[in-house]
Amino acid sequence: MFRKKVVRIDGLLGEIIRRQGLEGPLLQKRLLDSWGKVVGNTISSYTTDKYIRNQTLFVRLSSPALKADLGMMRSRLVKRLNDTVGSQVIVDIKFI
């Protein structure tokens, strides 16, 4: 009896996800889900909506003062969010 080529399931699933074009949306979903972990519970409680369009994360906040503070931390937040996901998903954040 001949031994067939054995493939690990995690490698196979990763390949299927890439072929079907689902890797980008999956990474975007992971990034959106990691928002609360990166910014903390307090800031997350002021977040009313968030979405990604054209590699830009749009975050709707209920506090104008918080918008100004987070605007100054924009580049650090982009780096931390991308590092959490393990890939460059976003290049900018807009606070609306």
pLDDT digits (tens, 9 = 90+) for 25-59: 999 999 999 999 999 999 999 999 999 999 999 99
β-sheet bridge partners, residue 51: 58
Q: Do 56 and 94 touch, CB atoms closer than 8 A?
A: yes
Q: What is the DSSP letter of 40?
A: -
Structure tokens at 56: 């830009």
Please give the model's pTM, rounded to 2 decimal places.
Answer: 0.83
Give residue 3's pLDDT. 72
Give residue 1's pLDDT. 60
The rounded distance, in Å, linking the Cα atoms of 12 and 89 is 23
Mean pLDDT across 6-28: 85
